[in-house]
């Protein structure tokens, strides 16, 4: 997938060069230039997305740290990234997840770095997923290791309807 994305970015760069030549050619400004400006804005955004995805495929890292009071998930590319911190007291339903997809599609998801399985937990009213490129067995091992270090709450909050 990284080879495909790198090849696409080469074509993308050629497109930018030819688009800029056309845009700055000195021809009178008209509807074609407006269209070209709008197209260029979307083309630049697509290139940024493609370059970010290629960087993640080549050098993306996800580090999970569990300490006494929090779970930290750091996602970075070339050591530049962000860290999300979650209080352990708010984490419930730590479990693995697997997508019900055909094996060929699952292989494609793993190949692209999206993964067909991984680890997830609930935090308040939100689901947080990480380790998406792990297979089901490895994800189960991660959950078991985390549970050995902290007793995560597995209760499911059921909303109570007020009496009418």
DSSP structural state of residue 28 = P
Instruction: Look at residue 109 in the predicted model and tell me its pLDDT.
Output: 62
pTM, 2 dp: 0.69
Q: For 27, phi and psi rounded to 5 degrees? A: -70, 155
Looking only at the bridges linking them, the beta strands covering 91-98 and 117-123 are antiparallel
Least confident interval from 52-61, 67-76, 142-151, 155-164: 155-164
- 94-146: pLDDT as tens digits: 998 876 666 666 666 655 556 567 899 999 889 999 988 788 888 899 999 99
Distance CA 126, CA 91 (A): 10
Averaging pLDDT over each range in 5-9, 132-136, 153-157, which range is the top one? 5-9
Question: CA separation (Å) from 157 to 120, 123, 124, 164?
Answer: 17, 11, 10, 21
Which CATH topology does 61-149 take?
PH-domain like (2.30.29)
């Amino acid at each position: 997938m990284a080879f495909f994305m790198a090849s696409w970015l080469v074509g993308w760069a050629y497109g930018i060069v030819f688009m800029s030549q056309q845009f700055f050619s000195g021809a009178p400004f008209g509807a074609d230039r407006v269209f070209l400006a709008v197209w260029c804005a979307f083309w630049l955004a697509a290139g940024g997305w493609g370059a970010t995805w290629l960087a993640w495929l080549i050098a993306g890292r996800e580090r999970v740290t569990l300490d006494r009071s929090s779970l930290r998930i750091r996602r970075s590319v070339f050591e530049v990234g962000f860290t999300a911190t979650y209080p352990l007291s708010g984490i419930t339903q730590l479990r693995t997840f697997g997508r019900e997809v055909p094996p060929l599609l699952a292989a494609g998801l793993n190949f692209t770095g999206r993964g067909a399985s991984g680890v997830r937990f609930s935090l308040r009213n939100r689901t947080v997923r990480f380790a998406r490129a792990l297979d089901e067995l490895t994800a189960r091992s991660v959950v078991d290791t985390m549970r050995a270090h902290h007793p995560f709450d597995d209760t499911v909050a059921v909303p109570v309807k007020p009496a009418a």
